[in-house]
Structure 1
Amino acid sequence: MTLDRTPFVIVDTETTGSRAGDDRIIEVGAARLVGGEVVDTFQELVDPGRHVPARITRLTGISTGMVYGQPTATEVMPRFLDFLGDAVLVAHNLPFDARFLDVALAEAGLPPLQNPSLDTLRLARRLLSSLPSKGLSKLTQHFGIDVQGRHRALGDAVATAELLVILIDRLKIEFGAETAEDVLAFQRRRYKDTRREPSHLKAIREETLPRLPDRPGVYFMRDGRGRVVYVGKAKSLRNRVRSYFTSVEAHDPKTRKLVRDVRDVTWRETGTELAALLEESKLIKNHLPVYNRAQRKYRDYPFLRLDTTHAYPTLSWTPRIAHDGAEYYGPLGRRGQAEEVVELISRLFRLRECDDPVFELGRECLYHQMGRCGAPCAGGAGADEYGLEVERVRAFLTGQDTEAVDMVEEAMREAAAAREYEAAGWYRDQLRRLERTLGRQRTVASAVHEHDAVLVEPLAPGYDGLPAPAQAAGGVQLFLIRHGRLAGRVDLPRDPGPDETADLAAALAETFDPGLAPPESHLRPDVDEMRMLASWMRLHDDAARHVRWAPDGDPEAFLDAVLAAARAAAPATEEA
């Protein structure tokens, strides 16, 4: 019978001592395990007909008073046999529990146990030879199993059930066990026959792992049919992939199942960790591997929209970017965050919040009375100073004006002093979000359509994307960002020759053509890349590696600035 369908009953007994016949059972606990899940339990205190020694009470918490008047073994054992049925009987150090159970069965006039039996202690000795102790306490501690009631029969039985699931998973992975018969036979193997690895693990460890480079890239794990079941990225392919195939028993269940299914590992070097990050996201969405739970779908990320097409601009948020003359800032993490930022800006700055039909009425509205708008619709100072207010908002949205942080902090303190704690808590939360938003936008420092820059990342020495003579010295990878989107990638040696410099100049001229119009829209894959690039720039805030481009700048000076940043970012020869 397959392991997923086989019923196991894991049993544990508490006794008055260690000698079956002389000593008696005082508690029986059992758990029925099917498909890796405990589906039923059994627990009975048993009157042994004698007192419980003090040392047993100290160990188990079971006293003579607790078992006095409880059912005897003659009454309990028939119920236990009904619970056991034809399941595989399991215990940790099975001979101990089996001896006591057989004595109790004999007292009840019943035959001894006849079920197939499995000892998790024997399995642990064969599968976990590197562990110094195979006792239940040490194993539960090693695997992080939470024991509810140690040295009580049911608590230990349930803990042993969790241990059995772990051991069976390892048997599946390392020895290809598929049926209950495979597991029962394994516990009787000679120790020298339990040290071998399954053929697919051995092949991966001996043939694949030694060839993995100590450089960034993406890796593909494939099953026996050649299908990609997992895609990952790594700063060091060697270290990351190797981690899956060492100490398998310590992995979580999902990873152990992945290792069991993998038959081949391939990879592709990317030169930098950032390139690996971007490629991983695309590959997961293209292949939809069964073991990748995250990043399987593109999400809608909100942007802040400053509508500068109107004489008196307004601020809102939108899930899409359009080439409509407005300024877009972001992306932000989620819709709620965008709504909160818009609300915060409305409290801090005096931009109008009404729509155009209301504005065209030309009279002050409720927002002006609340102090949230200068009423430019009515003319006067509100209209004259509106342009300055828009510039303040623009400086805030690009992370250049931190005055807003002081304003929010002061509002929080005033609310707290007035014992308006709900308002103070709102300002506190906004302060935290504001600091994160400012940090994100400060690295971009422009609206999306005006975000034009070259991001410089050092290449891992030995990267085969460079010409052979330049691989040892290393170089840099240039990420060309135009209108907020990743427009291209260029690998540049540490000491570029005339040909490489000319190619770079051509790539920069094509990408940063002042006449190049912004795209009509940004699709989900574009926004996903923008989000990752913005996060990367925030986490690696080295301004020397962000070379910004201006439409009115000198192309030669821009090329020189990129080459200077490349020389500064490339690893020194001794580091390579």
Structure 2
Amino acid sequence: MLSRQQISEILNKLPSSPGVYIMKDKYGEVIYVGKAISLKNRVKSYFIGGDKRGVKVSVLVQNIAELDYIVTDSEVEALILESNLIKKHRPKYNISLKDDKHYPYIKINVKDEFPTVEKVRKMTKDKGKYYGPYPSAAVVNETLNAIRGLFPLRTCKGNLANKTRPCLNYHIKRCHAPCIGKISSEDYHKILNQVMLFLEGKNLELVQKIEREMNKAAEELDFEKAAKLRDQLNGIKAVSEKQKIIFTDLEDRDILALAMGENLACIQLFSVRGGKLLGSESFKLENTGGATEEELFHAFITQYYGDAVIIPGEILLPIELRDNKVIEEYLRKKRGGKVTLKVPQKGDKKSLLEMAEKNASLQLQNYISRHLKNKEEAEQGLLDLTKALDLEELPWRMECFDISNIQGEHSVASMVVFEGGRPAKDKYRKFKIKTVQGPDDFASMAEVLKRRLENYRQGDENFLPLPHLIVIDGGKGQLSAARKVMEEMGFGNIKTIALAKREEEVFLPNRSEPVILPKNSKGLYLLQRIRDEAHRFALTFHRKLRTKNTLVSELDKVPGIGRVRKKILLQAFGSVEEIATKDVGEIAAVPGIPWKVAEEVYRYFRKSR
């Protein structure tokens, strides 16, 4: 905790400018990020008021060991920076949006000559166009099925240049076969533009566009084309009729409602696109103790819309926010167009908001019942471990390391992170063992700990902060190997234990006898969870590497295939599995592969089936 003199020095240095303040604990971990119109006034408010500040703020202040700040030119810039820093550090005292999963998107690789439309779980900084996030994979799959039934786009993967005949989709009129030149890139992109209108909910505009094309085809006596467009039109209308029109203005808008618990809240989001209610989703907000409705909406809007691909022009709320204009400007910059926050007073908008509020209350009760059970178990587990292992403080951040290999082949390691007794999956890390030959788990564990601590020492943000407790999957040998490296590197102060599988014995450094936790101990359950998760994560990575290497090595067994030809084939078809499905002509069509070699490849995979 900061002394009065340190607090006074900090407050004296703070400017009255807008900006962001960053609070850290004694380990250097960011524990809170906030924005302010006046940095001096906002930060000062944390250190005055005593008990009136609330429990959460009091605990936060007690844990502040360092305070940094960044001055910005405006409150909007401060809001953008605050949002980015919260997303980056996930501070434990900030209100946290928990959706428990990566919501899916639909991606179109618009820069490709003949793009595909596909489902993805993450947005990446590429040249693709993304739609979403969608509330569930089922909604995405339903949307993709509708697209594939209405728009004849390719669904195949790989290099089209290497294909010599069309697939089944061409024969059933679900693809125009760009693979064999049956459609130009220009005409293909016209269809793609229709798909984008469909995904943006602009069905009326799409219908009008197809009707014009259909009428034009009929006038030109191209009745076959007109009939195809008619069938497509009927399909789009059938999909549209399933979606109830809520608003006759056909605008895009989101409706947000809130239900609050003691330290938990639920936001219900209704998505309206083109006047139709397309979906509903609930979101859990944690660490909400003492927060106002306004603060909760502020946290949700900045975190959720910070990642959203499509931001509607209107967002309906039950209350007006004091920094309304600042948030509208923030969203305008994200959207590239005007966004308005409104509080409906009557009519359909008010009715839909009330419906959203009822849904939020129901979902909150579900969250509370699950959350209380999980939270109590996690907290009791941390308390049990603190007492049983004689720790000086709760092991808030725990890291568990596991090695996975088969007779020393493809040896890998995992680092799994739990925070507050629960998995922090975005902080998991995996390693390929580089310096150890053969099945030597002790040396492998030493290498992994050394690399993890060296990454921290070099300031790698992927390995910040240091853990309160390190758990080694293994016995005395693995523990000794880990401790030796840690002490040599100057990290001997980090508490370290090993958990042996057979009897679930807990080994501590410099103690010959293990600690035996009761079978019903929440502390033992927590250790088992993190150990099992580390084992699962390492094994999954190991299997992935082993499968990849096994498949690639299959090509080495084919007569006439060396390093260069193997590379050519993999570049052409993408994978060994794909090569195995090709006939001789398709393989021989690849530049650099003679007909005789193609026959050898074909024969090899037919024999091995």
Please report the TM-score for the alignment, with normalisation by the length of structure 2. 0.28
Bigger radius of gyration among the two = 1
